[in-house]
Chains A and B, each alone.
Chain A
Amino acid sequence: MATKSVEKYSSLEIIKMSLRNNIRQYTMFIALIGIMLIFSLLSGVFFTPRNLSTLFLQTAHIAILASGVVLVIVAGHIDLSIGAVVGLTGAIAAILQAHYGLGVLPAIIITLAVGALIGLWQGYWVAYRDVPAFIVTLAGMMIFNGLLLGVTRGETIATSSMFNKLGQDYIPTLFFINSPKDMLPHDTTIIFLVFVIVAYLWYELKRRKERITYGFDILPIKLFALKIALVISLITAVFLIMALYLGIPYSIVILMVIGSLYTFITTKTTFGRHVYAIGGNKEAAKLSGINIRQRTLWIFISSGILGAIGGIIYTARVGSAAASAGQGMELDVIAAAIIGGTSTLGGQGTIVGAIIGALVMTTLNNGMLLLDVGTTERLIVRGLVLLLAVWIDISSRKRDA
């Protein structure tokens, strides 16, 4: 094979093929843009940097938790205890600081360790005792809700302003203070943006060079440029929205790190590949020498740790821990993952999809709130959207077969 670009196909054909192969991801993305457009038309406030930044803030913990649950669902399990874990770990983080006088960092480290322990506990029952995850995490939900009530004694515990920054505040500016009114962009965010774009360009170019060395087909240069331009404008749009308000929130930085890490885990690591194989065909995975029990244990430990991160961010955003915190959150998280294309049967799902799914859910909520839609209708609409998303997914899969 020579180092030629794909001349077998015209550019149009390549675009068509790519669309067809990734139709699921694109559909959800287009749906998200569509929903945003509709809200922009209906409400003048929706498409402002201020509202969109708030929307991102509201999405952060759901998207982080959804990244973790993707692994769980892909492996063919479920985690119903997410909400309870968020509540419990959030309360632990608050109590460690309020009652035991621990600093923010030690409190966070201990909370993460508790999350890992919770995951170890649930993973042990699922992986080594063969109890279905549905039951283990349903039991977990009750147990952790009980513990939450026990540690908070029903009181609301306020968290320190330092800690709350994680959920509410933005990364500081370097050179000059901006304010949303003067439309001056937030400098650190712009620096961050440039850094991300450079990293992305470096990655794409390196990949292309490697493919040439291997003698594989590469995209024609025009398409390659088009693809890069599209991705960069998307990244820029997202960053500009935040730069024009108060900058990037800490929670979004955490989401970016976790989103990238989990995308790496699911697409580039042996562990990730094994998770998809276990969910796709457990028996084949076992006979291929995959240690299913150990992998399952780690999936739940990951879910527990992300639960704790979600708990920390959520508590910081609310500014206090309460016995009712996190209730029902697992449903939002699971819905986000599934709207984002994670198959309920296991074996399929992406992190990016789950993050988009989380955005869809919060956008609907946020937009309808702006339009003064009541809680009743909001719940109904979101339920219907979940139903619709899964239906579209299933019917498109049938067309595939």
Chain B
Amino acid sequence: MELLQTLEQMGQDLLGPAWLPLWTLLKIVVIVAPIMGGVAYLTFIERKVLGYMQDRIGPNRVGYFGLLQPVADGLKLLMKELIIPSGSNKFLFVAAPVLALMPALAAWAVVPFADGMILSNANAGLLYILAMTSLGVYGIIIAGWASNSKYAFLGAIRSAAQIVSYELAMGFALVCVLLAAQSMNLGDIVRGQQNGYGMLGWYFIPLFPMFVVYFIAGVAETNRAPFDLAEDESVIVAGFHTEYSGMGFALFFLAEYANMILIAALTSVFFLGGWLPPLDIAPFNEIPGLFWMLAKMSFFLFLFLWFRATFPRYRYDQLMRLGWKVFIPLTLVWVVVVAAWMQTPFWLW
């Protein structure tokens, strides 16, 4: 930390007003580069985990233990030809993958990795997160429409309806967090969960139903199994990215996995105390907060993979029913319950 401060001071003296944009750019690179690396290795871990769950070995040919597999896959996708279908809207067809990836990366600006380790300590952080996660659907809709293909369009329509439905439940779950923390700043939300008793102070205890709803809605928002109706390969080929090849396809993949990591990070921040240690005693609180944050994120990412290996895909009407008839009433009631609970002396958080 002191080293960082001296570095910042030095840069300030050296470059003057040009230093701030440069320093911010550096911070962005420091956040985005590990996310991209994480995405690459998440695909590898996904294939390994799915493999072992299905009694297979998974990729093990490229590099030791198959560790170079993501690099090989990335290279392959880079080398492939970009095919633009005839009759498609060329500009939007090319712009769609970019529109899908952009909000997935932009949302990381307000995510705290450890105490003070945050790009933008914005007061309206929670609102910003909601706004950014709701923008990801544009890439999918535009991709489906611009492809000029029936399957892609069906996938896009499914995705739009799904994301709009689950966003409501997600928003109400976050209203409960907001009530409990009395702040929309993500750093303050984590600090609100610090009460000296370790994990007993985390919001997943008073807001347990919201914790479950938020994570399931997160799985649905990212179009992951069992909610991957937008790319339902047994029904609509590959859904919205049927017509994409090479790097366009890779960008959609990057966006999906970056969104998964984001949902994992957000669930840890909102409900599992972000960078806080599970027990506030000697060996645990000596470990840096970043480690705890990453451990919690890894847990949720494993859940994503576990879901994919375990659950059969939802039917579309079941998906809509779960969103509108189960999650939204449940979250609405819990908002009232939490608001009333907080007025009583039994609120201990």
Q: Do A and B bind each other?
A: no
Binding site for A on B (CB under 8 A): none
